[in-house]
Structure 1
Amino acid sequence: MHTSVIHLHDPGQPEPARWDPETITPPAPERQAPVRQTPLPTIGPYPPLFAVLGAHGGAGTSTLARWWAHSADTGLAWPSSVRTTQRVIVAARDCIPGLTAAADRLREWHGGLAPGGIEVLGLVVTPARPGKVPSAVRRYRQIVADLVEGAIWSIQWHDELIVCELNELAQYTPNDPPPPRRRTTLSNAVPIDVHRAGAAITARVAATRAHLNDGEPGNPR
């Protein structure tokens, strides 16, 4: 399947800017995300560069975090520990309920309800089912995209995920070359859409580090 990068600001630019909290209507308390107090898991040789936050259950965070070797799955909770990264990619299904949940997470962040230090890099949407996305979903997606200044990536439906164990999936690491154009299995190479999104997110992380001048040794951010 093919990639669909819906709209993306220059990945060399810093992350989307926070809006004035007074202009945001935050989600009701019962719709707000929990907070993770413990550090994110570090299963590779280096601490993760960003966390994948699910806007709702079934948003695909474990698959995305597996594909992007330099990320960590923070589940449904904001990562609050300063010992590991607080840069976040929000993940949601490309459907009205999923996008509504994503809007809740983004309004929380804009409204100052997420833990201090959180930086949202953008939004990743994954398909709710194979086939064409309904026009009503596409229209609503564009509205939600405004909350991340258009920094939104779309991962397509991949049938092989139905029969593939998580630990069998190939991984993308920074500076990996694009996968081969010929058809291959998910255990041999990440899909091209996953590679492109991972590369764009990585570039955005690098730009953010340079912008904030926070790359000193020992700083996990």
Structure 2
Amino acid sequence: MHVLRAIDPTGEPPHDRLDPATIEAPAQDRLAPVRDTPLPITGPHPPLLAVLGAHGGAGASTLARWWAHAADTGLAWPGSPRSTQLVVLAARDCIPGLTAAADRLREWHASLTPDGVTIVALVLVAARPGRVPAPVRRFRRTVTELLDEDAVFSIAWHEELIVRELTDLARYTPADPPPPRRAHLTAAVPPDVHRAGAAITARIAASRVTTPTTGRNR
């Protein structure tokens, strides 16, 4: 399964999704809300990515702050076609976080998300410092099978976040070189945040294949 392939115009299930008939959708009361208004423009350009928290405390606001070309869509799907509907799903790397991420992924695969929404990546943010417990690692393998393995990224625990406001954090743009390995979060984004942002941006760029017959991107 490849996350960023174009939708098949014949009416078959999109190549970036599983067949909806094979997916058990979340219960109605577990579906995410929809944001009908466009995402805000907080930088010089409209956002390329919408960071969606699979649950409260997933780290979506922090990721959206770190990546200058991203916007925070909270817990709601970005439903307006007037701004990006390319979604980076964020969740804590723990059993409750992975369960919420699975709900959002199954919701998308079951075609219960707004038209135009595409999940381009899943970012799992450490729930605590130290090693991830074995039950969490096992459950993570099950959940991440719902996406291409190259579309799953991990962000480590960054202790300095405890004492920083979001507005204090440095930002990453796609033209930035890799940051120093040891720098305060006010001076540079962490290396793992840089790597994930660069890889996700590259995946989006690679997916924008020009159609020979129409000359339009799809």
Same fold (TM over 0.5): yes
2:178 equivalent in structure 1: 178
Alignment check: 8 A CA contact 2:2 2:16 kept: no
Alignment check: 8 A CA contact 1:89 1:123 kept: yes
1:167 equivalent in structure 2: 167
Q: Structure 1: which 4+ aligned runs deviate by more than 3 Å? A: 13-16, 211-216
SS at match of 2:206: helix
Question: Aligned-pair RMSD on alpha carbons?
Answer: 2.3
Displacement after TM superposition at 1:147 (Å): 0.6
Distance 1:142 1:211 in 2: 34
User: What code does the residue aligned with 2:131 have?
Assistant: K
Displacement after TM superposition at 1:208 (Å): 2.2
Distance 1:122 1:175 in 2: 20
1:4 equivalent in structure 2: none
Task: Pick closer, same or farther for the CA change 1:85–1:137 going to 2, 3 Å.
Answer: same
Distance 2:52 2:74 in 1: 6
Alignment check: 8 A CA contact 2:31 2:103 kept: yes
Matches within 5 A, 1:65-144: 65-144=64-143
Q: Is 2:38 the partner of 1:39?
A: yes
TM-score after normalising by structure 1: 0.88
SS at match of 2:51: strand
Task: Pick closer, same or farther for the CA change 1:212–1:134 going to 2, 3 Å.
Answer: farther
Could you give the per-residue CA deviations for residues 152-188 of structure 1, whole angstroms, max 9, x where no partner exists? 100000010000110010011012100023x210000
Aligned length: 208
Unaligned runs of 5+ in 2: 7-14
Distance 2:91 2:192 in 1: 16
Distance 2:185 2:26 in 1: 37
Could you give the per-residue CA deviations for residues 75-127 of structure 1, whole angstroms, max 9, x where no partner exists? 00000100100000100000011000000000000001000111110100101
Q: Is 2:211 the partner of 1:209?
A: no
Distance 2:96 2:210 in 1: 34
Task: Pick closer, same or farther for the CA change 1:203–1:215 going to 2, 3 Å.
Answer: farther
Distance 1:123 1:203 in 2: 15
Distance 2:69 2:178 in 1: 16
Distance 1:160 1:200 in 2: 24
- Greater mean alpha carbon deviation, residues 65-74 or residues 127-136: 127-136
- Greater mean alpha carbon deviation, residues 61-70 or residues 142-151: 142-151
Displacement after TM superposition at 1:17 (Å): 1.2
User: What code does the residue aligned with 2:22 have?
Assistant: T
1:5 equivalent in structure 2: none
TM-score after normalising by structure 2: 0.89
SS at match of 1:197: helix
Unaligned runs of 5+ in 1: 1-8
Task: Pick closer, same or farther for the CA change 1:97–1:163 going to 2, 3 Å.
Answer: same
Distance 1:170 1:161 in 2: 12
User: What code does the residue aligned with 2:169 have?
Assistant: L
Task: Name which structure has the greater RCO, CA cutoff 8 Å, separation 6+.
Answer: 1
Could you give the per-residue CA deviations for residues 44-80 of structure 1, whole angstroms, max 9, x where no partner exists? 0100001000000000111000000000000000001
1:158 equivalent in structure 2: 158
